Chains A and B, each alone.
Chain A
């Protein structure tokens, strides 16, 4: 496959005549599912860091994952082009799809994965909050009722009818959340593992779930929630109240708690539907109580 990729990227003018080296890389978890990605870092003959990243999958059966990833990245890049957040996401350059093989070419994200210090967490949350403000699409209709938005997302998700019914029923039992918020595109899988750091600059990678969720605060919630065990509620409260203030939304304390439930459910529906499939109404309530303390 490498030979084929090399020929195409040369034909497309993505590199010159220089000798190229391809380094194949997959995360330890890649391979459990057919839609897991495989990466190739492409090195120029004279450079010690790669200049292109090729993404592909092991079976064409799962090609839609890669296509979605590519076009989401394109969309984010269009939204941030020429602005202060242009470098927050890498640039998607080219998609190859011949019905048997599919792969995309991106520029390589600068920096490396790091364990975030509390100061870095605050710094990143602040950067990401202002980035979110910058991509509010005034043309896009606002979300008038968060509960309804989540129900609609469940309805169009890949969940089985049985699980859809279970989660929808669960939502109906909750008090309504008539909160009007702007629709803002979320990364969908924001965690420290998906952020590269270089000279205090952040670069977000892995856009598999980007453009699937438009509920503001979702990314900030999961970024903090996944990596903090102590003081998570205080940090969440501080970060989200600042976030909503910046994007111009007033929220009460009670509404925050409801929002947390919505964020948690949305994550399960969009990113981990297989886990929801194993749940019963009872275990779902237990899980929410255990994880969110609500």
Chain B
């Protein structure tokens, strides 16, 4: 399954690419936090760092898996596994979970976390999606949760889209026949980008034509725009080009990182039911929203600007 071509091993974690830290907190914070964990144990660690990093002890972050068949016979690859939000719950159901991330510290944390949960079926490695150390047709399920939008941040390809295309092709190669690729990602035209930063760290870039976003990014950040997200049609086109002609889309509420509600994209009735019956109507804003979206053309429009997608393709 995993090819033994690693460059080095630290703390029993193989490196298949250079260590590249990422995360909302500075690297030295996580380094120090891990030393607290090693020396003082989980209770002290959690008392000091709960909410500081993007780990969670909640078991609901991989709930998208209910949309596909996953069982004790299956092997999963979690690309960009981070601190294990998907890997931990998946390891409770699957036979083996291979978790790969560019950050050594994150993999080290996940290793500790797996040990704490007595999950011996999680295998961690430091690796880049373009250097994955696995044989073809190794996996039943591959996870790209919050990863595809970052794949273009590489020097290997001139255009971000080419890098994204290649990453999906790699996944296809690694999937067994009949296996599933899951992609959790934002909608390029999400309404929420009106008041939030795009992945580029700049506002409104996802809404812009790519060449305009490029120029704007050069002016603001001194670098090209390479964190592409797409509309539903854009993702379909990308996946088709990568060899997946058929894809299934779900709208995810509140977002793909916490897939509490999975709404089949094709089905407006379920979307309407969620808005009218399942979403809280405690605030005035919500109540107005419910009234507005009781008109189906507006609901259809809202679907196009919904925050994020869970996308499934089958080999």
Contact = CB atoms under 8 A, between A and B. Distances in A.
Interface of A: 1-4, 21-28, 30-34, 36, 38, 40-41, 43, 47-50, 56, 58-59, 61, 100-101, 112
A4 B69 CA distance: 7
A5 to B, nearest CB: 9
Contacts of A49: 273
B32 interface: no
A32 B269 contact: no
14 contacts: A1-B65, A2-B66, A2-B67, A21-B264, A23-B262, A23-B273, A26-B260, A34-B92, A36-B59, A36-B60, A38-B66, A47-B269, A58-B92, A58-B93
Nearest to B259: A24
A3 B69 contact: yes
Residue of B89, B272, B277 with most chain A CB atoms under a 10 A cut-off: B277
Contact of B58 (A23, A32, A43, A100): A32
A59 B59 contact: yes
Interface residues of B, number: 31
A40 B263 contact: no
Given A3-B69, A40-B66, A48-B273, 13 more contacts: A1-B66, A1-B70, A21-B270, A25-B260, A25-B278, A27-B260, A31-B60, A36-B60, A38-B66, A43-B270, A59-B59, A100-B72, A112-B277
A58 B86 CA distance: 13
A214 to B, nearest CB: 32
Contacts of B61: 31
B63 A24 contact: yes
Top 5 A-B residue pairs of the complex, sorted by shortest distance between their CB atoms: A31-B60, A24-B262, A31-B58, A23-B270, A21-B267
Contacts of B272: 48
B274 interface: yes
B267 to A, nearest CB: 5
A134 B159 CA distance: 72
Contacts of A32: 57-59
A58 B59 contact: yes
A27 B63 CA distance: 12
